[in-house]
Structure 1
Amino acid sequence: MVIKKNVGCIDLHRITGFLSITSEAAVESTQANADQVFVNGGVYTMNQTMPWAEAVAVQDGIVVAVGGNSEISEYIGDATTVTDLEGKMLLPAFHDAHAHPIWSGIDHFEVSCFWFSKH
């Protein structure tokens, strides 16, 4: 009788171990695919612990992952747009926060007198 209890205990551990492995795999497989992925680049992260990366995954306009090509490839699905940076540099979320677009066309409404010369 004691032997049967130990065998049952071993089976319980095997089942528990199997369920923990399969539940972890299920969690990984439910990871959302990115809308856009940038690979094969020099991604400057501005993070001191990891200043450079190779790839970026973007979902709904938000950077969801930054890392190596192999890590980010997990975010690629059938509908993902993959952009090969071909070694070029990428600065995520880099934009000009101060601009004066009106001045780009205002010169067309002014008279330029620079062509006059002094004699």
Structure 2
Amino acid sequence: MGVYMKLDREEEAWNLIQSAIPSPEEQGPEHVPIFVNWVYLMIELNKWHLWRKMEARVKKFLRSLTDKEDKNFAVETLMNEHTEYFNSCEYKAAEVFINLAMVLDGDLFEQLLERETMWKVPETE
């Protein structure tokens, strides 16, 4: 996909990722990168009008993950994307990925708040 994007062949990249999305019967933990790339391309190609339908499909996929290691891998992958977008000040995209990660780990937001609080330097008078 990256090659298509670099060659300004975005629609071909989009069609390729669309065709790679497995059916619900065929999907498994090995498809985490495909779903993450699907969301990534939607953002990069500014196809926000498709997000609601995609969101439902991605969340359904994430909820199908049952193994703890698979869930942890998915959360880590989603949080890496979140961090990249957040650090680039692309907050809408960052929010998409953290919301997806929270499907698998509902306590994630609280954990992030706690971590942020731990790193704050107390103000001095």
The TM-score bracket by the shorter chain reads under 0.3
Structure number with bigger Rg: 1
TM-score normalized with structure 2 length: 0.22
TM-score normalized with structure 1 length: 0.22
Greater relative CO, 1 or 2 (CA 8 Å, sep 6+):
1
More strand by share: 1
